[in-house]
Chain A
Amino acid sequence: QKEVEQDPGPLSVPEGAIVSLNCTYSNSAFQYFMWYRQYSRKGPELLMYTYSSGNKEDGRFTAQVDKSSKYISLFIRDSQPSDSATYLCAMSQAGGGNKLTFGTGTQLKVEL
C-alpha cells in the first residue's frame, strides 16, 4: 500500500462546478501538506500549502487538512476550463529535508 493514496480520475465537471479533490495518507509523521497543479508536459506548480490541521483559502481554492483522519482535500469553486490539469497532493515530515511524498495525481477536466 502506498503512503499517499489519490483517486486518479479522470474527473470531468461542467464549468462553474465545485470540485473536490482528496488524498488519504498513512504516515502520521506528515506535517506539511501541499497541492500542486500540473499542466500537460509542464512542471508541477505550487497551489496551496498548509501546515498541520486546518483550512486555508486562496481565491477560488480552499485546502483542508484533517490529521486525525489522515485526509486532505482541495476544493475549487467556480471551476474554469483553465483549471483542467492534473492535481497532485504532496506531503512531508518535519525535519529530514522536507522531501515530498506525492499522490499519483487526479486528472481534472472542466468542460464548457
Chain B
Amino acid sequence: GAGVSQSPSNKVTEKGKDVELRCDPISGHTALYWYRQSLGQGLEFLIYFQGNSAPDKSGLPSDRFSAERTGGSVSTLTIQRTQQEDSAVYLCASSLGGQATQYFGPGTRLTVL
C-alpha cells in the first residue's frame, strides 16, 4: 500500500517568510509524528499526534513552530518568520496507535536564504 507522503519535497524561502509543510500518513495509522533532521543535530522529535488527544508539542523549538492535524489524517507543520537555522529536512512518520514502529516519509528539504 501507499506509504507516508510529504509535500513539497523541496522548499526554498527567504528569511522572515512563513512556510507550510504537508504530511499524508499511511491510511489507518492514528499516530503521526514530525521530526527535524539537520547537520550536526541528527534527527530530533518535534510534535506527536494520537487520535483526538491533545498533541505532544514538547519538541517544538520555538513558538514560531506549530502543527495541526485535520480529521485525524493529514497534518500541516507551519513555521512562521523563518530563520536560517530552520534550514533542515523535516520528516513525518506515522504508526498504528500504541505501536512503537514508525514509518517515515521522504521528507521536505527546507532552505531558508
A interface residue numbers (CB < 8 A to B): 32, 34, 36, 41-46, 49, 51, 88, 90, 92, 96-105
Contacts and interface: CB of A to CB of B under 8 A. Distances in A.
Interface in B66-113: 91, 93, 95, 99-107, 109
B42 interface: yes
B100 A92 contact: yes
Contact of A97 (B56, B103, B106): B56
Contact of A102 (B4, B43, B48, B109): B43
B45 A100 contact: yes
A57 B86 CA distance: 39
Contacts of B16: none
Interface SS of chain B: strand
B33 interface: yes
B100 A49 contact: yes
Given A42-B106, A44-B91, A97-B48, A103 B100 contact: no
Contacts of A100: 33, 35, 43, 45, 93, 102
Interface of B: 4, 31, 33, 35, 42-45, 48, 50, 56, 59, 91, 93, 95, 99-107, 109
B33 A88 contact: no
26 contacts: A34-B100, A34-B101, A42-B106, A43-B4, A43-B104, A43-B105, A43-B107, A44-B43, A44-B91, A46-B103, A49-B100, A88-B42, A92-B100, A96-B56, A97-B31, A98-B31, A98-B95, A98-B99, A98-B102, A99-B33, A99-B45, A99-B56, A99-B59, A100-B33, A102-B42, A102-B43
